[in-house]
Structure 1
């Protein structure tokens, strides 16, 4: 299993420049090749460790792994380089596909396109007319540098090194660049599993905060109140990892619908645990720690914005509905 400890960069060096991030990402992609396309349990454990090192690097590694697994599931050859998956439809954005000759015209706007200037290829779902009465998504493999990126669209230091910008897509692709059939991207069993891999990165981020806080506090004599709050953080980080590992252990025995519910519950549990860690860390270190540790400040802001990908309230409504309809459907 490749971990950040196998790489040649420290946590600070990873974030020192775009070039350093690119080199570390390349090393990760190359050395972890067997993991990105291997058992999901190994992948998730690896992503936890990357999240523990740096959330921006982990975000990009997870995107590469997701891209490689999608191509594998579609029995589509991967091209050389680092992959990302640009599939956000935030605020009504997205791409449209129009059939032309022996290919497609892909046009539209995508938000949160991570890895601009860092990755080589991107998988992009475009909306196409699959039959006279219905539209569906068709996935295309495009060069990441073929888009126009608004590098001013990300206006916070949080997760800034992931280079997640709004991009304009307007290009032509050949039929051979389509991945799978219409509807494949959302209908494949691996779609929900990909959400669990993102939660693994969040769980690693929770562990990272515990690491940073405890490392800084070892130079002092902590109060009983600080020890209690560290205990809460330790417990929450354990719960986050356990939620991911528990879901992973149950997936092989579940059908697609039940697996989706377990993954949704695991993701929500991880977010709840991360919120506990985010709340307790500043209370432990106080203004002195918050003002003197760049890595602590960075990890706090990175994790806070990253976990907001999960729409917790909407997910809890769905889970509550499942419980009313079927009782203990998720019991061990």
Structure 2
């Protein structure tokens, strides 16, 4: 069997077999299989194959959103280190990127010897904290600048704080808060470089690809339903609306990937903000129309459908809704770029 065939078989198996039982252990095993098989060696954004990268993220998302949360984080970490430290070696194992910065949970550098630092504080929203080997996390240095730091998570002073994930959606991602008590780490790049590099917004487009892939998987159930003799015209109308939404999102994904590859050193903030906003609209349309067309049956009797339908609204909230739209609007108002011209 070809490498792509093996990958397709693995994802098909994941879609048919929920990872909700012993989720941490199951996700760890799946990530190890994907890493060991070389499936996480995705093209780096902005080097001519960005759309290929996004297609893989969408494919994994269509099988299981909890898995793609860790898969995307691992592949993002590899891309970040390839961009910031192109000649450096990345430690073996599974990686995550923890960059949430709520005011109540921050990690600070309290001591340093060159690139080696010691960290103190609490990090929130750490997806895969119980199963990952390494993490890239944003910290604050002595001058209150954002500094990216690589941390070995097997240190005994890395403490997992289980405050109890209450949501059913994305519940198997093993997302916890993490307490760092004089934990050793290594600075990756210069202060501020994590946010200022071109790959920051290029990577943000990958999240939209994940949303899109899950929406396509849900839409597939509606398309299959419309091939059955017992379907009605209302289902076909819902499928028409879903098709229009997804085709528009797909066109924007392709266009944005091309823009990134043609402008690899430019900031992709404006095109990626537009992309995420457009894909979010499409995903919400899919959730609405698929649910109305198919009723309660797949939510209650199809494990893959039910997991996606529960996980996707939670994962979609990685968008900041009107806050992101306001940022997009301000950028459009201040920009000479006119994306409305045909």
TM more than 0.5: yes
Cα deviation, residue 167, structure 1: 1.5
What residue number does 1:128 align with?
A: 141
Alpha-carbon distance between aligned partners in 2 of 1:116 and 1:258, rounded to the nearest angstrom: 30
What residue number does 2:170 align with?
A: 159
1:266 partnered with 2:245 = no
1:53-111: CA deviations, max 9, x gaps? 11111111110010001111121321010110011113532211112456322111112
Answer whether contact 1:233 1:277 (CA < 8 A) is retained. yes
Answer whether contact 1:153 1:166 (CA < 8 A) is retained. no
What residue number does 1:47 align with?
A: 57
What residue number does 1:149 align with?
A: 160
Answer whether contact 1:13 1:20 (CA < 8 A) is retained. no
What residue number does 2:323 align with?
A: 314
Structure 1 residue runs of 5 or longer lacking an equivalent are none
What residue number does 2:41 align with?
A: 34
Runs of 4+ aligned structure 1 residues displaced above 6 Å come to none
What residue number does 2:128 align with?
A: 115
Answer whether contact 1:192 1:263 (CA < 8 A) is retained. yes
Question: What TM-score, normalized to structure 2?
Answer: 0.86
Cα deviation, residue 172, structure 1: 3.0
Cα deviation, residue 29, structure 1: 2.3
- Bigger mean CA deviation after superposition, 292-301 or 145-154: 145-154
Alpha-carbon distance between aligned partners in 2 of 1:149 and 1:127, rounded to the nearest angstrom: 20
What residue number does 1:276 align with?
A: 285
Cα deviation, residue 217, structure 1: 5.9
What residue number does 1:25 align with?
A: 31
Structure 2 residue runs of 5 or longer lacking an equivalent are none
How big is the alpha-carbon RMSD for the aligned residues of Structure 1 and Structure 2? 2.4
The structure with more helix, counted as a fraction of residues = 1
Cα deviation, residue 21, structure 1: 2.3
Q: Which has the higher contact order (CA 8 A, sep 6+)?
A: 2
Question: What TM-score, normalized to structure 1?
Answer: 0.89
What residue number does 2:8 align with?
A: 5
1:157-214: CA deviations, max 9, x gaps? 201121111121223325xx22111111111110011100111101101101112334
What is the aligned residue count?
A: 326
Paired residue secondary structure (1:149): strand
Answer whether contact 2:16 2:303 (CA < 8 A) is retained. no
Paired residue secondary structure (1:167): strand
1:230-265: CA deviations, max 9, x gaps? 221222222222222211111244486662101100
1:193 partnered with 2:202 = yes
1:126-183: CA deviations, max 9, x gaps? 1002xxxx42111111123442222343111201121111121223325xx2211111
Cα deviation, residue 288, structure 1: 3.1
1:96 partnered with 2:145 = no
Alpha-carbon distance between aligned partners in 2 of 1:309 and 1:322, rounded to the nearest angstrom: 20
